[in-house]
């Protein structure tokens, strides 16, 4: 049975159907069922790729290999748990009057459209369609960021739209440059942007044009990754949008943008036969890490605090992919996985904390451990995990990343380690009063669903203690592919 049409068809059709489902409870259930069905389909495709290797669908229009199938599975898993979390969360938002039934209809429809856009970006074999899919995901999340219709939310949505629109325009220009040089090899046909055909003939592409193209792609897709100095949209979008959207922005969309950048890097490496693209990624990654680590100390809003943590970790992943050795690629893939799990779990917890305290202001969030211990424990464990303390998986991936940096570019340790220490201090200086101490008398407990948080943190713990053999082998194959270009 060909499962691939279901992978894209379920979120696309469900998103269309949810635009007409007026009752919020039914829409929430349909959102969960559709997300879970997409996840099950992705597991079936994972099994096929593990057994048969890379697969093509609809001719060569779509493909799955060990690199993108791992992100497909991760995307559908996090999306499913986010749908489960958002059912109770958004019901509470409707109860207290922050959203209307009409807003919820838009929320559920755009959520599935967003999932469709990300899966399309991950599975397409055409660089032009990849650009279109990322733009589609951006438009869906712009509407979700503005869901509360407050002046601040609308301002954040416009900022997100304009900055990412400028970024994606630069990425389009980079894609056009690739197309212009690939025409000399393939002629005027769709093959000129087909990644699996371009890659074996990358050494025939004009190296000067590919170098210029990557500069535009770096800035363009780097804007969506949240790299400094193009990161300014991200804290505002997190701070003003619904918390479930913060979870998928940090846990999924940033990954997909980085995926697009790494795919383009492999083409540029093949054309130029030098490490210029990698050095560019390392520079942006280190700069982003250092700036985000310092920015953590200045935050007053809990969602903005953890959004800067996401920027910090995207800097780490970009730096690691820029090094480009098998060990560095392995560390980056593992870091992508554990960061998505932990950060989305943290945002689930932050959402409950903000609802209980009726504020996102850090100075007014106190005594979570006394008010609702499950929220306090979730925030404490999540922050320990994302700060890179053992035994969670972030510690393992950062340890591997530092080892890879020591092997190839030891001078970078002078920036890497101090930045990690500064980031650690920035998180824990805010965490202690929020978790411990006495809570204000006027606040009260709210209904919560911590199951998705426990699942995500539990998986991050397992990946820190011992990576399952099949998963380690999977990461190894993908890491070698990104280094050598062979499966």
pLDDT digits (tens, 9 = 90+) for 263-318: 999 999 999 988 999 999 999 999 999 999 999 999 999 999 999 999 999 999 99
Q: What percent of the chain has pLDDT over 70?
A: 99
pLDDT value, residue 175: 95
pLDDT digits (tens, 9 = 90+) for 447-475: 888 999 999 999 999 999 999 988 898 88
Other beta carbons less than 10 A from residue 470's beta carbon: 10
Q: How confident is the model at residue 484 (pLDDT cuts 50, 70, 90)?
A: low
> Is the pLDDT assigned to residue 203 strictly greater than 50?
yes
Arithmetic mean of pLDDT over the chain? 92
> Is the pLDDT assigned to residue 486 strictly greater than 60?
no
Other beta carbons less than 10 A from residue 68's beta carbon: 24
Query: Which residue matches tokens 């948080």?
Result: 453
The answer to whether residues 105 and 19 touch, using CB atoms and an 8 Å cutoff, is yes
What H or E segment, with its residue span, contains residue 352?
Answer: helix 326-357
> Is the pLDDT assigned to residue 1 strictly greater than 80?
no
pLDDT value, residue 25: 85
> Is the pLDDT assigned to residue 22 strictly greater than 70?
no
> Is the pLDDT assigned to residue 24 strictly greater than 80?
no
List the beta bridge partners of residue 301: 361
Q: How confident is the model at residue 228 (pLDDT cuts 50, 70, 90)?
A: very high
Taking residues 194-205, what's their average pLDDT?
91
pLDDT digits (tens, 9 = 90+) for 118-173: 999 999 999 999 999 999 998 999 999 999 999 999 999 999 999 988 898 999 99
Burial 370-403 (b: 16+ CB within 10 A, else e): ebbebbbbbbbbbbbbbbbeeebbbbbbbebbbe
Q: How confident is the model at residue 188 (pLDDT cuts 50, 70, 90)?
A: confident
> Is the pLDDT assigned to residue 249 strictly greater than 50?
yes
> Is the pLDDT assigned to residue 485 strictly greater than 90?
no
Q: How far is it, in rounded angstroms, from Cα 176 to Cα 171?
A: 9
Query: Which residue matches tokens 């369609």?
Result: 129
pLDDT value, residue 473: 87
CB contact set of 226 (below 8 Å; sequence gap of 6+): 234, 254, 288, 310, 311, 314
pLDDT value, residue 185: 84
Lowest mean pLDDT of 21-25, 86-90, 255-259, 434-438, name the range. 21-25
pLDDT value, residue 446: 87
Q: pTM of the full predicted structure?
A: 0.95
CB contact set of 196 (below 8 Å; sequence gap of 6+): 56, 60, 63, 125
Structure tokens belonging to residue 73: 């599975």
Q: What is the DSSP letter of 250?
A: I
CA–centroid distance for 231 within its chain: 14
User: Pick the residue with more confidence: 43 or 444?
Assistant: 43
Structure tokens belonging to residue 209: 């044009």
pLDDT value, residue 177: 95
Q: How confident is the model at residue 487 (pLDDT cuts 50, 70, 90)?
A: very low
> Is the pLDDT assigned to residue 362 strictly greater than 90?
yes
Taking residues 81-109, what's their average pLDDT?
91
Q: What percent of the chain has pLDDT over 90?
A: 75
Structure tokens belonging to residue 72: 């497909």
């Amino acid at each position: 049975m060909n499962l691939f049409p279901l992978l894209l068809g379920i979120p696309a059709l469900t998103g269309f159907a949810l635009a007409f489902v007026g009752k919020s409870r039914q829409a929430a259930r349909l959102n969960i069922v559709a997300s879970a069905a997409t996840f099950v389909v992705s597991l079936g495709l994972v099994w096929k790729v593990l057994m048969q290797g890379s697969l093509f669908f609809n001719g060569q229009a779509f493909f799955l290999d060990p690199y993108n199938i791992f992100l497909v599975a991760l995307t559908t898993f996090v999306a499913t748990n986010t749908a489960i979390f958002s059912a109770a969360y958004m019901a509470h938002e409707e109860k207290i009057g922050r959203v209307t039934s009409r807003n919820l209809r838009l929320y559920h429809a755009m959520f599935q459209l967003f999932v469709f856009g990300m899966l399309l970006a991950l599975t397409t074999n055409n660089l032009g369609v990849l650009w279109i899919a990322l733009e589609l995901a951006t438009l869906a999340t712009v509407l979700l960021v503005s869901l509360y219709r407050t002046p601040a939310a609308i301002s954040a949505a416009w900022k997100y739209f304009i900055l990412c629109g400028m970024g994606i325009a630069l990425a389009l220009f980079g894609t056009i440059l690739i197309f212009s040089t690939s025409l000399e090899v393939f002629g005027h046909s769709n093959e000129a942007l087909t990644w699996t055909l371009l890659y074996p003939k990358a050494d025939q592409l004009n190296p000067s044009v590919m170098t210029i193209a990557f500069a535009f792609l770096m800035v363009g897709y780097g804007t969506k990754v949240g790299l400094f100095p193009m990161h300014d949209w991200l804290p505002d979008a997190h701070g003003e949008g619904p918390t479930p959207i913060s979870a998928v922005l940090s846990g999924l969309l940033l990954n997909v943008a980085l995926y697009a950048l790494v795919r383009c890097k492999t083409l540029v490496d093949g054309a130029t036969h030098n490490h210029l693209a990698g050095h560019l990624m390392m520079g942006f990654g280190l700069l982003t890490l250092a700036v985000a680590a310092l920015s953590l100390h200045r935050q007053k809003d809990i969602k903005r605090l953890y959004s800067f943590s996401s920027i910090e970790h995207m800097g780490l992943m970009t730096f690691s992919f820029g090094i480009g050795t098998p060990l560095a690629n392995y560390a980056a893939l593992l870091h992508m996985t554990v960061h998505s799990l932990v950060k989305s779990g943290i945002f689930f917890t932050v959402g409950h904390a903000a609802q209980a305290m009726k504020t996102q202001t850090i100075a007014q969030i106190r005594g979570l451990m006394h008010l609702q211990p499950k929220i306090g424990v979730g925030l404490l464990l999540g922050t320990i995990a994302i700060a890179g303390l053992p035994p969670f998986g972030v510690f393992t991936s950062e340890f591997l990343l530092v080892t890879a940096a020591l092997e190839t570019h030891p001078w970078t340790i002078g920036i890497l380690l101090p930045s990690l220490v500064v980031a650690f201090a920035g998180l824990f200086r805010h965490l202690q009063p929020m978790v411990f101490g006495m809570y204000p008398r006027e606040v009260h407990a709210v209904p919560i669903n911590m199951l998705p948080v426990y699942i995500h943190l539990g998986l991050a713990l397992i990946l820190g203690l011992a990576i399952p053999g099949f998963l380690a082998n999977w990461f190894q194959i993908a890491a070698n592919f990104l280094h050598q270009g062979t499966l």
